[in-house]
Amino acid sequence: MSVAGINVLVEETRAIQAGQRPPLLALRDVSTYYGSIAALRGVDLDVAEGEIVTLIGANGAGKSTLMMTIFGSPQARSGTITYDGRDITRLPTHAIARLGIAQSPEGRRVFPRMSVYENLQMGAALHDGRFFAEDLEKVCALFPRVKERLNQRAGTMSGGEQQMLAIARALMSRPRLLLLDEPSLGLAPLVVKGIFDAIRELNRTDGMTIFLVEQNAYHALKLAHRGYVLVNGRVTMSGTGRALLDDPNVQAAYLEGGHAGPVGA
């Protein structure tokens, strides 16, 4: 069975699901401002339970702002964000995190003076460490590098290692919805492959819903069930990952010039 065949199958499942119940995360007409400057302008976006959704767009299009807006920092100035049927638009960030959303934010943001182990404990704080041992084993298997460095201060690790830790820390909270902002940034090719495999695996076996922003559009679209294209704070296109990959406009704007992959250029 080919990859494309599986994608079609996934799409069918999703279509059925979409009809059955509301999406896990839904943004309706969301606008976010920095001072008087609009960063997001009327964004509509859905993420269904069990889906991998990716957001692609140029630098400065507002992708990270969208991530942060879901997390309530900054809060959307207008529109609504619902999660699991609940309006979270005006909730403070910590309250949103308690609902089972975790994020590996832009710029890593590990706690530099705490050890790697303590960073992971912070990630697991939501569950009072009940699943800590089990989850620690899991993320260590995913990132052997993190395991090697458990007792080191996080700030002394290399940039790529901190990136792994940020993702590992997000996973420690056992999120229902995982937000990843450029997970592949600064990582070695082998690790990037590992992360994309892990995302797929988490989605398949644990049913984790994943929303990711990637500069590496080719890999992200190949991985995702569905994708959105963000241009100047607006969603201009959406569709299945495969459909966007095949779209000539997307190819011209986000795929050409580098890893062309099997997409005809």
Partner 1 sequence: MAASQTALPGNAMAGILRDAALYALVTFGLCVPIIAYRTDPGPGTELVLVPRWGLVAALCAAIFVARIVQRLVLLRRDARRALTPSPAQATEAVHGEPDAGQKTSKVGLSLFIAVALTLPMIAALATGGLSSARYWIDLGILILTYVMLGWGLNIVVGLAGLLDLGYVAFYAVGAYSYALLSTTFGLSFWVCLPLAGLFAGLWGMILGFPVLRLRGDYLAIVTLAFGEIIRLVLINWTDVTGGGAGISSIPRATFFGIPFTAGDNGFAATFGIPYDSMHRLVFLYYLILALALITNFVTLRLRRLPIGRAWEALREDEIACRSLGINTTATKLTAFALGAAFGGFAGSFFAVRQGFISPESFNFLESAIILAIVVLGGMGSQVGVAIAAVAMVGGPEMLRNLGFLKAVFGEGFDPNEYRLLLFGLAMVAMMVWRPRGLISVRLPSVSLGERRAVSGAHVSEGHG
Partner 2 sequence: MATHPDTRATATPPVLTVEHLTMRFGGLVAVSDLSFQARRGDITALIGPNGAGKTTVFNCITGFYKPTEGMLTLAHADGTTHLLERLPNHEVNRTARVARTFQNIRLFQGMTVLENLLVAQHKPLMRASGYTILGLLGLKGFRDAQDAAIERAKAWLTRIDLMKRADDPAGALPYGAQRRLEIARAMCTDPVLLCLDEPAAGLNPRESAELNGLLRHIRDEHDTSVLLIEHDMSVVMEISDHVVVLDYGQKIADGTPAEVRSDPRVIAAYLGVEDEEVEAVEAEVGISVPHGDDAHTGAPA
Which residue from 13, 14, 17, 33 is in contact with partner 1, where contact means CB under 8 A?
A: 33
Nearer to partner 2, 243 or 263 (CB): 263
- Taking CB under 8 A as the rule, does residue 35 contact partner 1? yes
Nearer to partner 2, 46 or 51 (CB): 51
- Taking CB under 8 A as the rule, does residue 22 contact partner 2? no
Which residue from 2, 3, 16, 36 is in contact with partner 1, where contact means CB under 8 A?
A: 36
Minimal distance, residue 89 CB to partner 1, in Å: 10
Report 195-254 residues binding partner 1 (CB under 8 A): 232-233
The gap between the terminal CA atoms of the chain, to the nearest Å, is: 26
Binding site for partner 2 (CB under 8 A): 1-3, 6, 9-10, 13-14, 17, 48-51, 58-60, 107, 145, 149, 152, 156-161, 163-164, 182, 185-193, 200, 203-207, 215, 217-218, 225, 253-261
Residues that bind partner 1 (CB under 8 A): 29, 31, 33-41, 58, 60-62, 65, 77-78, 80, 232-233
